[in-house]
Amino acid sequence: MRLIENFIGGEYVAGQGGKTFEKRSPVDNRVIARITEAGQADVDAAVRAARAALEGEWGGLTLEQRVDLLYGVADEITRRFEDFVAAEMADTGQPSHVMRHVFIPRGAANFKVFADVVKNVPAESFQMATPDGRGALNYGIRVPKGVIGVISPWNAPFLLMTWKVGPALACGNTVVVKPSEESPHTAALLGEVMNSVGIPKGVYNVVQGFGPDSAGEFLTRHPGVDAITFTGETRTGAAIMKAASDGMRDVSFELGGKNAGIVFADADFDAAVDGIFRSAFLNTGQVCLGTERVYVERPIFERFVAALKTRAEAVKYGRPEDHAANYGPLISQEHKQKVMSYYRKAVEEGATLVTGGGEPAMPAELAEGAWVQPTIWTGLPETAAVVREEIFGPCCHIRPFDGEDEVVKLANATDYGLSTTIWTTNLARAHRVAARVEVGITWINSWFLRDLRTAFGGSKQSGIGREGGVHSLEFYTETRNICVKL
Ligand code: NAD
Ligand code: 6OD
């Protein structure tokens, strides 16, 4: 049985308390690894290592040296592509094509793009008048914020963890990462990459474990951590915000969503069905940007529901390495219980079940896996729990609408504000509606197209702050102003 350890100061080390926990495969519920659980002493050691690197070799590198090392990390991820694919498939059970085309290449891109960003962003400068007429010059210098605590989730583990580690290191910080207890593999494997390309020891550290009363909480409460960047549930964000208030540490939060998909009657019908199918069911619905509320203009409502039903019923269940499969399990039995409880609640709330709503019949060797059917409902009021709460599963509720004003109201009637996808051939309307929906990112006639130079984040309870491109620099550096009297 493989043992996954912490990665501290460039070494793989067992937790000092000797505690371990098991990781089960989502596919068949077999135990596939044991994981070290970091205690307070391990988190202390990781933060010390990160501080030492910051004040030592890493802090002394030139920008060019740092950037070259990060290009090296990206190249080494690409060289070890198959290892990362295998590690992520083991943790999540998702089809290999998702790993190959989206999640793992993004891991490499997260290092490359932010290395380029830091190289190319100029510092600000302002000239000012002074009473003596000689003037003064202000200029800003950016300095790293320090030791960054990175807390990441399980749904796209490598993409989401490196999306924070890449810019943090590019800006000259050091990191202590706490990956989800459900997805320990790729964060651990990245330690090997860091060592093999010569990233100084202590720049990248990983503590494994859980959230409350475990590595996550010890890290976010640690006074040696200068800022915390977190992706996960809104409720967890609230707990971390309280922890960060001790010492007034800065936070960047990417949180939950209950995203609307809006389909106008003039949309390219097949493209809209395909787009909503992907946004509702890719990664078994475990994408924060996914669509759980679909609004379809009345003239095409029935036809759209029927077409999406056909697509949902055609998914091919299977192991990640089975190339014919395009649909995997949920991450865990625990998450399956949560999703199934919403499937039952939808029926109790009076939904019309269009398709799914239960567990698929799986062959004996996969019967213990966290499999659930893609599910579509109609007929619920907007007040239903299933329409209001983030389920984070392969399911959506579809409701008809009449006109722009109504659909904007419906889309905005939520505490969340992460993303929207709009389907229409009327581009003037697309721009109008996009400007009115209260979210961090809107896709028009597409979904999950990502340019890493753009601002990414959530409105309302979907997040605090923006990352991506220069926006990441705002969080991962501090600007000091220097005023020179001339
Ligand atoms: P989660 O909040 O349960 O856990 C995320 C991480 O936080 C894990 O590493 C966990 O161990 C840790 N954690 C939990 N409690 C903690 C605490 N008290 N202190 C410190 N750390 C703690 O989220 P999850 O179930 O792993 O991921 C799914 C959620 O993430 C969904 O709500 C989804 O919408 C959200 N998400 C958001 C984005 C985004 O970009 N907005 C991206 C991906 C996922
Ligand atoms: O693409 C990204 O940068 C990003 N943060 C994606 C989030 C996906 C959520 O599951």
Q: What is the pLDDT of residues 182-192, one digit of tens each?
A: 999 999 999 99
- Contacts for 229 with CB less than 8 Å, ≥ 6 apart: 148, 149, 150, 151, 164, 168, 251, 252, 253, 467, 475
Ligand 1 near 231 CB (within 6 A): yes
Ligand 1 centroid to Cα of residue 429, in Å, is 35
Q: What is the mean pLDDT of the chain?
A: 98
Residue 46: what pLDDT? 98
Measured between alpha carbons, how far is residue 479 from residues 137, 141, 149, 165, 428 in Å? 16, 5, 20, 20, 39
Pocket of ligand 2 (CB under 6 A): 155-156, 160, 163, 254, 287-289, 450, 456
Considering the entire predicted model, what is its pTM? 0.97
Instruction: Give pLDDT, residue 1.
Output: 75
| CA 258, 110, 329, 314 torsion-angle sign | positive
**Percentage of the chain modeled with pLDDT above 90:** 100
Strand 259-263 to 291-297 pairing: parallel
Give the closest residue to 205 by CA, choosing from 22, 85, 44: 44
Average pLDDT estimate for 62-86: 98
Question: Residue 146: what pLDDT?
Answer: 98
The response to whether residue 279 sits with its C-beta less than 6 Å from ligand 1 reads no
Calculated CA dihedral for residues 245, 249, 250, 251, nearest 10 degrees: -60
Phi/psi for 233 (5° steps) reads -70, 150
With a 6 Å cutoff on the Cβ, whether 177 touches ligand 1 is no
Q: Whose CA is nearest to atom 4 of ligand 2?
A: 160
CA-450 nearest atom, ligand 2: 1
Single out the catalytic residue among 5, 88, 288, 390: 288
Among protein residues, the one with the nearest Cα to ligand 2's atom 1 is: 450
Which whole number is the average pLDDT over 213-226?
98
What single-letter amino acid sits at 269? F
Strands 147-151 and 136-144 come out as: unpaired
Instruction: Tell me which ligand sits closest to the C-alpha of residue 230.
Output: 1
Euclidean distance between the first and the last CA atom of the chain, given in angstroms as a whole number = 68
What residue spans of 314-417 are helical by DSSP H? 333-348, 385-388, 404-412
* CA-based nearest residue to 232, from 210, 254, 200: 254
In this prediction, residue 2 carries a pLDDT of 85
Residue 288 known to be catalytic = yes
456 CA to middle of ligand 2, Å?
A: 8
Residue 391 Cβ contacting ligand 1 at under 6 Å: no
Average pLDDT over residues 260-286: 98
Q: How many CB atoms lie within 10 A of CB 13?
A: 15
Q: Is the CB of 392 under 6 A from ligand 1?
A: yes
| Pocket of ligand 1 contains residue 25 by CB under 6 Å | no
Which of 456, 472, 475 should be mutated for ligand 2, with most atoms under 8 A from CB? 456
How far away, in angstroms, is 182 Cα from ligand 1 center?
Answer: 11
CA neighbours closer than 13 Å in the CB half-sphere of residue 146 = 13
Give the model confidence (pLDDT) of 393-442 as tens digits. Answer: 999 999 999 999 999 999 999 999 999 999 999 999 999 999 999 999 99
Structure-token match 């199918």, residue found: 277
